[in-house]
Amino acid sequence: MRRRPLWSVAAAAVALTMLGAPSARAEGRGDIRIIKTVVHGGTNVIVGVSKPVTFPIRMTIKDNSGVKGVDRVSTFSTHNRGGPVEWIDTSCVKKSKTTSDGAATMHADPKAMPYVSDRDPDGIAGQWQVNATVNANDKDYWISDRIALYQFKRAATPTTDAAPEPVSNVATVKSSASGNLSTTVTASAAGTWRWYFAGTGTTMKVISAGDSVKLG
C-alpha cells in the first residue's frame, strides 16, 4: 500500500509554476500514454466537515510492450495547488497485450482543510486536476499533468425548524458567514416547509427535511 501526502506534490507544482512551466504538461520516453481518465465514476467529489471520503481515479493506459504499472498519482485544486487528499493505493489490471486498466484510490480528509488554507478552508473547492506517472514493460514512462479535471465540492446539510409553530420560515435568504439561515414570514395556510439550496460551483445542491406548520 502506498500512502504519500499531497503536500509535497503540491509544493513541487508551485515551484514549477514559478519557473514559468505551463499549467498542463507531459514528458517522458516512448509511446506509453494514459488515453482515458475517470474520477469518481464521472461525478463530483463531495466532502463534508468531518467524515473522510475515499474515491477512485480510473485510467486506461496503453503501450506497445504492455503496461508495467502506475507509479504516481496526485490531485489538487487548479487555483491554489493545494488540497487535503492522499494517494493511498493503486492497482493495474492487464486487459490486452498493450492495454491495462489502472485505478488509484484517493483519500480526502476534511479535518486537514484548515491546514491547507487557514483563512478560507473552503477556498480549495471548485475545479481540481489529476496528475499521474505510468511505466511500461520496455522502460518507457510518461509523466502527465491534467489528465482529468473534475469538481471538488463541499457538502451542505440544511435543517428546518419553523418557530413559533403558527408562523412558517419561508423566503429566499442569504446565509450568514457561519452558514446559518433564518427568516420569518406570515403563514397563510398550514403546510410543510423546507430549505432548498440550488448548489454552486463549490457546494452541492441540497434540500432539507420538511417541517410541518399548523395554523392556530
What pLDDT digit, counting tens, does each position of 40-51 carry? 999 999 998 788
Contact 74, 146 (CB under 8 A): no
The whole model's pTM is what? 0.65
Task: Identify the CA nearest to 108 among candidates 92, 94, 131, 128.
Answer: 128
Distance CA(199)–CA(216), nearest Å, equals 35
Q: Are residues 94 and 186 both part of a single domain? A: no
Looking at the domain assignment, is residue 44 inside a domain?
Answer: yes
Distance CA(86)–CA(19), nearest Å, equals 25
Q: Are residues 126 and 175 both part of a single domain? A: no
Fill in the amino acid letter for 14: V
Q: Are residues 71 and 138 both part of a single domain? A: yes
pLDDT at 204: 67
Q: Are residues 100 and 203 both part of a single domain? A: no
pLDDT per residue over 22-36, tens digit each?
Answer: 345 779 999 999 999
Looking at the domain assignment, is residue 1 inside a domain?
Answer: no
The residue ranking higher by pLDDT, 134 or 182, is: 134
> How many domains is the chain partitioned into structurally?
2
pLDDT at 8: 32
pLDDT at 10: 33
**Residue 215 backbone dihedrals phi, psi, to 5 degrees:** -80, 135
